[in-house]
A and B are shown apart, each in its own frame.
Chain A
Amino acid sequence: EAGVTQFPSHSVIEKGQTVTLRCDPISGHDNLYWYRRVMGKEIKFLLHFVKESKQDESGMPNNRFLAERTGGTYSTLKVQPAELEDSGVYFCASSLTGPVHTSGANVLTFGAGSRLTVL
């Protein structure tokens, strides 16, 4: 089974530019999450999709961040315009739906991350 794929693995952009990160979850995983880790800090939740719907976007830092999941498959996270503090590693994760005690439910499978550097 293919894992969670993220693209690009590393992006270096100038302040004020736009970047779009893509995540392809595991096929059949309705839940898709975006997280971000700034150097040395905790992994912070950004948002959660269930299929194509935004279930929880309480972690999105501001309106410069826009996430979409058209058709409930892959997702994109756009940062426009990028600021210096947006630098970090953006992780995508997916999981099955089901009661948490069932095998696999709520077990997140992570992608390798997209490292964003804003200069």
Chain B
Amino acid sequence: AQSVAQPEDQVNVAEGNPLTVKCTYSVSGNPYLFWYVQYPNRGLQFLLKYITGDNLVKGSYGFEAEFNKSQTSFHLKKPSALVSDSALYFCAVRDRTGRRALTFGSGTRLQVQP
């Protein structure tokens, strides 16, 4: 069975500072990994995905994530946080065979203070 852990319910960061939202996963074999963001009263929006190749993936709004196979992690990062980045962030995983549906984590609320 596949699973995703987002160990922090909330991350607080000052505007302009770098941010990291943590994600670790468990899956059979090599994973496909995703990050989604949810703003209030909206559906989840795709940020980025890791399929293969370069471990550093760049996505929307200046976000990036690094795939680390040995640590089974896929942390989301941004060099300089904006107040408008405040939202709920979800990490998701899919294995390369079998079920095509994504398995999501419980979400991390990012609060960027001005």
Contacts and interface: CB of A to CB of B under 8 A. Distances in A.
B106 A91 contact: no
Interface of B: 4, 9, 32, 34, 36, 41-46, 49, 51-52, 90, 94, 99-107
Given A45-B102, A56-B100, A106-B100, A100 B44 contact: no
Interface in A31-81: 31, 33, 35, 40-45, 48, 55-56, 58-59
Interface bracket on A: 20 to 34
A108 B49 contact: no
A72 B97 CA distance: 24
A33 B106 contact: no
Given A33-B101, A41-B106, A108-B102, A91 B51 contact: no
A113 B101 contact: no
Given A100-B51, A106-B49, A113 B104 contact: no
Given A58-B99, A91-B44, A101 B51 contact: yes
